[in-house]
Structure 1
Amino acid sequence: MRILGIDNVLIGVGDLVRAKQFYGGLLGLPEKFSTDELALYAIGDERPGLLLRVQDVRPGTTRVWLEVPDARTAAAGLGGEPFEIFTGWTVELSDPWGNIIGLTDYTKRPDLARRF
């Protein structure tokens, strides 16, 4: 498996409105997009961003998503179950301490993918 770079850093939040006030208001991060359940903020000129996601279980669990050429292939080698996202596919794994590492691809949006 080849890791191409950081995709996004995901932060679980209990209340998206309050989270947007903190990250967009207090920190002044520019919002790239949002839905009822998540908001993506730009971090400088980088393509990866800070993704806030409403979670019912354990708000505060940090996730780091790493870009790979094909998440379904990575999932098969790691025994995880991939799930579809709007840019492609992702598989999430827990490290020994409960941190979540996601392996994600841009198979549905190759124009956004890193060149490998």
Structure 2
Amino acid sequence: MSDNQSVGLSVDQSVRQSGEQSTELLGFDNVLFPVGDLGEAVGFYERAGFPVAHRIDEIGLAILKVGKETPGILLRVEDGVEHRPSAWSTPRVWLEVPDARGAGRALEDAGVKLLAPPFSVATGYTVEFADPWGNVIGFTDYRKRPELARS
């Protein structure tokens, strides 16, 4: 049950009542990460298993593929972005993988430092790492709830 349904109001009803356009969420477009150096960022993410879909050095932009979807991770060079450690309060994006614990081992083998060992979540396991600019990515699996996993 969505939050709108819990108060007895569907998305369609709220749009009709407000007279505004629908804010129905259809899915992710891209996730944007600010970085300080495009070459360094691309190298880091390639080690972490992300293939590069597009790279436009002239404007400081790279798009990394995530699965079979067109949207991905956008790396954008921004002035003043320096290396920094991640903080617990940093926003995170978690991406589904078949085996998070195995992904954690592969990350370590590639020289990517994990924020913590893989940990148990309701659906399976998750492992997190941060890029040099403190952007946090998690790899999570659905080993405990395979019926929810992508096929």
TM-score by structure 2 length? 0.39
Structure number with greater CO (CA < 8 Å, separation at least 6) is 1
TM-score by structure 1 length? 0.49
Structure with greater proportional helix content: 2
